[in-house]
Amino acid sequence: MIRGVRGAITIEHDDAELVLQDTTKLMQSIIAANQINPEDVASVVISTTPDIVSAFPAKAVRTLPNWNYVPVMCMHEMNVPGALPLCIRALVHVNTEVTQKDIQHIYLNDAVKLRPDLTK
């Protein structure tokens, strides 16, 4: 069975080092909370708000140990007025027997505002 594991993090400003560092932090948190093995991952979709242009967050995912063969794609979110700025979102498609309600979605920094119902 395949499940989607969501996560998001905000960065202080658009900077390549911050994009890579905070994407790594987000992914490590998603991986740890859900005990994800890269061999069980079908793909990862990473999006950024349009105000992030300094680096590809997918680069951070591909540098995680044993994640170099996992398909990862980046894209921009819709530019909706009033949307949370400087936000990186992840959607990990993982093969797992964990039920939907038991998936641990991760929201860090100001991204907790996106889904307070899922933030612990």
Q: What residues act catalytically?
A: 6, 62, 74, 77, 89, 107, 115
Residues 10, 77 contacting (CB under 8 angstroms): no
Residues 38, 66 contacting (CB under 8 angstroms): yes
Residues 61, 30 contacting (CB under 8 angstroms): no
